[in-house]
Amino acid sequence: MLQTIPELGKFIVFEGLDCSFKETNSNKLYEYIKETHPEINVKIVHFPRYGEPACCMVEKYLNGECKNELTTTFMKSLPFLFDMVDYFVTEGNKHLANKGWIIADRYWYSNIFYRGAENCPPIEDIPMMRSTMYNIFYELNKMVSKMTLPSPDFVFLMKSHFRTVKEKLESKATNLDEHTKNLDYIKNVMKCYDLFNFKGIVDHENIAVYDKIYVENDPNSSYEVKVKSEDEIFNHIKEVFESKVMV
């Protein structure tokens, strides 16, 4: 007789560049679910989990304290992965097994783009940039497949215009790590997000992409970019949540 496998809870990920409004919208969705679907036992986690013991190496890396120790793409990824594994081993997987839901602000996919930006050739060499990112993805995916990290049920991919990101970063300049202070590096990360076919690693039916958020116009372009307000973005996130995730 076949054993019945209990239905798990759902795992939702908000992915994207720094200052792409991941945290804003993940928090909003968390509050929305609590208010409109009280039957769902939902939790939210923000990666990296600053202040947690398992996140100490992430903080050291971002502060530039272990440049000589973490010298390869994969060694630089390990502190971030360890923080996530610690969360799911100690708390997250049990919550999902008990039909609880989890919203994550950032996931291991970020390592593809942030590590890719460190190792990519000049932005003009697009084929080589793509090749670099896919090599990083395949190697990281091998590592992750051996860990206890769950696959998301749905991904909200947040993108934004460089001007918007730059303004937000400059507004909190005193709280930036050495990586996010480097705007050329951030441009490279943004290009990596744009070039990578995210729908190739997540079922295309289970991903929603939000592009060019909060942009009035692009001074480097001959056409005007459509404005998307904070309310417009989140209203659409709610629609997608109700129609594609709550099924």
Q: What sign has the CA pseudo-torsion 165, 168, 174, 176?
A: negative
Please tell me the predicted confidence (pLDDT) of residue 230.
82
Residue 217 gets the label, from left (phi > 0), alpha (psi -120 to 50) or beta, of: beta
**246 C-beta neighbours (distance < 10 Å), count:** 12
Please tell me the predicted confidence (pLDDT) of residue 45.
98
Q: How far apart are CA 81 and CA 109, in angstroms?
A: 10
Residues 158-170 have a mean pLDDT of 78
Which one has a higher pLDDT value, 133 or 24? 24
Kindly state the tokens that stand for 191. Answer: 């290009």
Among 56-70, 81-95, 163-177, the range scoring the smallest mean pLDDT is 163-177
Please tell me the predicted confidence (pLDDT) of residue 174.
58
Specify the length of the chain in residues. Answer: 247
- At 192-235, the pLDDT tens digits run 888 887 776 777 678 777 654 444 444 454 444 455 778 888 99
In the chain, the percentage of residues whose pLDDT exceeds 90 is 38
Q: Please choose, from the candidates 23, 1, 2, the residue with its C-alpha nearest in 3D space to the C-alpha of residue 158.
A: 23
- At 25-51, the pLDDT tens digits run 999 999 999 999 999 999 999 999 999
Q: How far apart are CA 43 and CA 129, in angstroms?
A: 36
Q: Give yes or no for residue 6 having a pLDDT over 70.
A: no
Say which amino acid occupies 222: S
Q: Give yes or no for residue 77 having a pLDDT over 70.
A: yes
Residues 168-193 have a mean pLDDT of 76
Q: Identify the band that residue 180 occupies on the pLDDT scale cut at 50, 70 and 90.
A: confident
Q: How far apart are CA 11 and CA 42, in angstroms?
A: 10
Kindly state the tokens that stand for 234. Answer: 């989140």
Q: Give yes or no for residue 18 having a pLDDT over 50.
A: yes
Please tell me the predicted confidence (pLDDT) of residue 198.
75
Residues 74-90 have a mean pLDDT of 93
Q: Give yes or no for residue 143 having a pLDDT over 80.
A: yes
Q: Identify the band that residue 132 occupies on the pLDDT scale cut at 50, 70 and 90.
A: confident
Among 9-13, 173-177, 190-194, the range scoring the smallest mean pLDDT is 173-177
Q: Give yes or no for residue 2 having a pLDDT over 60.
A: no
Residues 48-71 have a mean pLDDT of 88
Buried b (16+ CB within 10 A) or exposed e, 137-157: beebeeebeeeebbebbbbbb
**The three-state (H, E, C) secondary structure of 29-82, written as one string:** HHHHHHHHCCCCCEEEEECCCCCCHHHHHHHHHHCCCCCCCCCCHHHHHHHHHH
